Amino acid sequence: MRQFLLLVLGIFMMLPAQAQKSEIMNLPDHDTKKYYFGLTFGTNFSTYRMRYEQSFIDTDSFKKIQTGFGPGFNLGLMGNMRLTNFVDLRFNPTLIFAEKPISMTIRNSVGGDSASNRAIESIYMHLPVQLKFKSDRIQNFRFYAITGVKVDYDMAANARSRRKDELLKVSAIDFGYELGVGFEFYYPNFIFAPEIKLSQGLGNQLFKDGSVPLSNAINSLSTRMIVISIHLEG
């Protein structure tokens, strides 16, 4: 995943030079709009940040528990309201399909260890409110940065599940903050805006249930997601 992100960042760095080659100013009146809308689609890489119970270190049956980044995709809408020449308020409700892998090494009472790889799947209704800080427009190109807060509702959360084979039980509601950067490329009929952002959850997603083995080894879970999006703005 690291190589993929470096490639994406490299492409983002080359795009401004390409955008400045155009001599025709597209959508010249767009910057005076009080508000406009758009579509969002893209991909994401999500994981859990995990804190362990003391029992995991001392006596637990798990020898190792590690998390990794799993791929997913996102699709949403966007509403943008102009506050000043350089600051916008943006609302970007998005449906996010995410997968967070967990690998474990389990101690065996009869000798030897066994490895197991599982994934926690989530379907988030992602509700971020962001401030968008814009640079001056250079012909048909503009750079921007975003910061904001978010609320996520996981429609696949299993906190109330009664199944006996659950790996973990997670709560449905999370909140956190987001930071990101992007570029806007003005075409005759629309704006093409690639963006990359970090979405960090601040809530504890772990739902404690003594009947689920991993609940006895983990103290807290928080979400972290890298989101690469394309916005098509009108």
Q: pLDDT digits over 182-199, tens only?
A: 999 999 999 999 999 999
State both tokens at 226.
């890298």
* The pLDDT value given to residue 153: 95
* The pLDDT value given to residue 21: 52
Distance, CA of 179 to CA of 199 (rounded, Å)? 7
The Cβ of residue 111 has, within 10 Å, a number of other Cβ atoms equal to 6
In the chain the first and final C-alpha atoms are separated, in Å, by: 32
**Domain CATH code at residue 165:** 2.40.160.20
Domain, as residue range, for 133:
2-233
Which ranges of the chain have pLDDT less than 70? Answer: 1-23, 55-60, 109-112, 161-165
What string of H, E and C letters represents the secondary structure of 137-204?
Answer: CECCEEEEEEEEEEEEEECCCCCCCCCCCCCCCECCEEEEEEEEEEEEEECCCCEEEEEEEEEEECCC
The answer to whether 232 and 38 have CB atoms below 8 angstroms apart is yes
Closest to 199 measured CA to CA, from 84, 69, 33: 69
pTM score of the predicted model: 0.83
* The pLDDT value given to residue 12: 54
Alpha helices of the chain — where are they, by DSSP H? 2-19, 54-58
Q: How many domains does the chain have?
A: 1
* The pLDDT value given to residue 15: 55
* The pLDDT value given to residue 155: 92
| Residues paired with 177 in a beta bridge | 149, 200
